[in-house]
Amino acid sequence: MNDMSWTPLGPPQPPPVPPPMPVAFAGNRKDFFRLVARGAGLELVTLGFYRFWLTTDIRRHLWSHTQIDGDAPEYTGRGKELLIGFLVALAILMPIYVGYFLIGIEAEHLKAFASLPLVAFFYLFGQFAIYRARRYRLTRTVWRGVRFWMSGSGWLYALKASLWGLLVVFTLGLALPWREAALERYKMRHSYYGDLQGSFEGRGWDFFKRGWWLWLLMPLALSSYVFAPFAYAAFKAIEWRWWLSGIRFGEVRLESTLPRSALVGLYWKVIGWIVLLFAVFAAYLLLCIFLAASIDGSSIESFFRTEAFAKSIPLIVLLGIGYLAFALAMNVVMRVYLMRDLWLRVLSSTIVHNIEAAANVTARGDLANALGEGFADGLDVGGF
Amino acid sequence: MESDSSQTNSAATPAPGGVFFDGLSNRRRLVALRLSDTLEIRESGELLGRWPFADIRRADSPSGLLRLSCLTAPALARLEIRDAQLIAALVARCEALEADLPNRKGVAAIVGWSLAAAVSIVLVVLFGVPLAAERLTPLVPDAFERRLGDVAEAQVKVVFDGKPCSNAAGQAAFAKLVGKLRETAGLDNSVQSGVLATSVPNAFALPGGKVYLFDGLLEKAENPDEIAGVLAHELGHLRHRDSMRELIHNGGTSFLIGLLFGDVTGSGALIFASRSLVTSSYSRDAETNADSFAIETMHKLGRPAKPMGELMFRVTGKEGGKGLSLVSSHPLTEDRLARMDKADAGSRPSGPPLLSSAEWQALKGICGSGRGKV
């Protein structure tokens, strides 16, 4: 066997394209589009079961094309884990649903609609799922051969989140910044990179100072379809910036310079696409009706007058296929803009200070299971 | 041959090595790599690891970078290589490089298993759930069913804001009518019934033996046979314990369809659509059976069944084509009317009228004076 050896040059050679910023995203948009478009097709073929693998592939793409101090993190989760988490969550949720139903009957027996507060229980459960899902994602994130991990109690978090949620409701949303600050403090305090403990220094008051005017504008945003995307985009931008700027790992400090207007274009693009897709769907609808009428051999008018269109099986099948294609196209648009492009914009506004403090971190922490992701999937809460 | 040339190359000008993370700390080590029968990783001469080629796996990385892990090294140990030549040489040697990454075969397996799961869920929805509803319903204790009925009753009364009508003469006429039907239908006297003061023209049966008639339907009725037919239809639901069966059936269907599309709570447009398609076909069957029961009961009393159909036709009008007949929970009114007409053909009503005209008038006014009093 021939031996081969490669030795490093004296001074470390800089990588071919040194990233100018500590955090950058080097992913190709076309690649991501191909990934989600193919994923949407597979979701259609598998009636949705492919979502576990698609989610995994999206995360792998986003993680591995992000560069922090020149090194890309790695997502080590796998679709199978998400599937197993989902199945286990299902096995746990099923008896809970039955119990919920029986308790509901007893409560309703005393007073009609007395069981509505039980919905609160599912809110609690959803918050638990959010915490545990974050834990799964964090323990599958590896940077420089060391993984992130998380301790803390999902139930304690759920309780905190629910109590703060009540306060937010009672204060008509004014307490939201303080709720987010408190919850982030809990989450970050229990997050680690190796032996480096995280913390959160964002204060509710800072968030409030940046966003109070949005609170005042809320009635306007809720009543006007044109204004609402602007308000929402501004809120999200303020939230991202405040959140990122509060994150600490040991002495490492993040800072975000995301401008308030950074996400407005993104949301309007999504709206534009949705309108366009709607138009295409409507045109397809018309085409289908003409087609079905011509198969039927009747004129459009008589087709409608005799109400034969409601009984035409080919029409119903065509409409079903059209609807599915429409829904999947929407999914692709959402994923490209609201996951990839959002990720890119938020990342490229992020600066890492004092990264040298994370230069010699010892690996610690165990993997968490995907049960939380399963609950999040089953209860329809979740994020990236 | 290729390796020979690179060896001479490396002797002349040292080629770049790689960056190594040992998986125990995040220290970035610049390492020299040697490809013998294993991959030797050395940092300034010190051996850090010896990775057998068969154990080396590719890990996710940005483009232009090969990131490797090794089954026999710490799980998170990573070796990163940028040199294209070295990458090519390594790829050629590591046969199982891509073994752990999702590939075409994996996707095919996912598609195959998903389709199998989907087919099995659909089969369970179409055959298993109706069977389970059929078999489980008789096992549900009466006490539990009555509790369910109480709950549903309380909700119905809130939703329709309906107070029970209590005009004495009307009550008597109503009790007489229900009693006759009940005895003929072979139901025991645990059946609870009443008229609610609501202008919605409807009637319904609740689990645990409750039958309610809305005043709105009474107002539209022109003779006792019409109301009797409707009540007989609802008694048919009670007899077959349809509410309980539908509850089990709909619960099971929602759950399974939600499972298929990934939302256990069973909301969402697609889930809603497919669920209504399945459950409404089930409920159409139940309605058809209740109609048969009503026809049979009315004929036993020597009365025609057609008036019930006429009353419904008066309420709904011609239904065909108004919406998708596939998703409506009842058979089309005109079809039901035609069926009752056909069933009546040949048998002339031979029994006595179910109510005298005075009793009929009292029944029609059951809510009128009752409401006046309140």
ipTM: 0.78
Task: Kindly report the nearest CA distance between residue A353 and chain B, in angstroms.
Answer: 18
Nearest to B26 among A101, A194, A306 (CB): A194
Cβ distance B151 to A308 less than 8 Å, yes or no, reads no
**Chain centroid, CA B121 distance in Å:** 11
Q: How many CB pairs under 8 A join A and B?
A: 210
Under 8 Å between Cβ of A233 and A264? yes
Q: Give dist(CA B10, CA A343) in Å, integer.
A: 41
CA angle B175, B214, B373 (to 5 degrees): 75
Reduced to 3 states, what is the DSSP secondary structure of residue A277? helix
The full DSSP string for A181-230 is: HHHHHHHHHTEEETTEEEEE---HHHHHHHHHHHHHHHHHHHH-TTHHHH
Torsion sign (Cα): B294, B300, B301, B302: positive
Reduced to 3 states, what is the DSSP secondary structure of residue A238? helix
The token duo for A255 is 């800072």
Residue B223 DSSP one-character state: S
Q: Give dist(CA A123, CA A105) in Å, integer.
A: 20
Q: Which helix (H) or strand (E) holds B73?
A: none
Cβ distance B3 to A4 less than 8 Å, yes or no, reads yes
Residue A71 DSSP one-character state: B
Amino acid at B349: P
Instruction: Delimit the domains of chain B by residue range.
Output: 2-93, 117-373
From chain A, pick out residues whose CB is under 8 angstroms from the CB of B255.
Answer: 94, 97
Residue B76 pLDDT > 70 = yes
Distances (CA, A) of A335 to A34, A62, A72, A273, A328: 11, 12, 21, 12, 11
Task: Kindly report the nearest CA distance between residue A376 and chain B, in angstroms.
Answer: 10
pLDDT tens, N- to C-terminus, chain A (384 residues) = 445 555 544 444 444 443 445 688 888 899 999 999 999 888 888 877 888 899 999 999 999 999 888 889 999 999 889 989 888 888 888 788 778 777 777 766 666 666 666 677 888 888 999 999 999 999 999 999 999 999 989 899 999 999 999 999 999 889 999 999 999 999 999 999 999 999 999 999 999 999 888 888 888 878 877 888 898 999 999 999 999 999 999 988 899 999 998 899 999 999 999 999 999 999 998 888 888 777 766 666 665 655 555 556 677 778 778 888 888 888 899 999 999 999 999 998 998 888 888 888 888 888 888 887 877 776 666 555
Q: Which helix (H) or strand (E) holds B205?
A: strand B203-206
Task: Kindly report the nearest CA distance between residue B107 and chain A, in angstroms.
Answer: 9
Cβ distance B10 to A28 less than 8 Å, yes or no, reads no
Under 8 Å between Cβ of B297 and B289? no
Distances (CA, A) of A86 to A83, A92, B184: 5, 10, 53
From chain A, pick out residues whose CB is under 8 angstroms from the CB of B265.
Answer: 378-380
Under 8 Å between Cβ of A181 and A204? yes
Q: Find the closest chain B residue to A104 by CA distance.
A: B151
For residue A203, report the phi and psi dihedrals to the nearest 5 degrees. Answer: -110, 145
Residue B164 DSSP one-character state: B
Sheet holding B203-206, edge to edge: B192-196, B210-214, B203-206
Query: For B216-250, how does the pLDDT look when each residue is reduced to its tens digit (9 = 90+)?
Result: 888 888 888 888 888 888 888 888 888 788 888 88
Under 8 Å between Cβ of A214 and A173? no
Domain B2-93 class?
A: mainly beta
Tokens 């179409």, residue?
B126
A45 CB within 8 Å of a chain B CB: yes
Q: Find the closest chain A residue to B110 by CA distance.
A: A50
pTM above 0.80, yes or no: no
Cβ distance A194 to B34 less than 8 Å, yes or no, reads no
The token duo for A172 is 């008509």
- Torsion angle (degrees, nearest 10) of CA B201, B206, B211, B212: -30
Nearest to B61 among A15, A28, A72 (CB): A72
Q: Give dist(CA B58, CA B98) in Å, integer.
A: 6
A43 CB within 8 Å of a chain B CB: no
Q: Residue window 126-145, chain A: list those with CB within 8 Å of chain B.
A: 142-145
B80 CB contacts (<8 Å, ≥6 apart)? Answer: A71, B18, B19, B20, B21, B61, B65, B66, B67, B68
Query: For B11-20, how does the pLDDT look when each residue is reduced to its tens digit (9 = 90+)?
Result: 333 445 889 9
Amino acid at B273: A
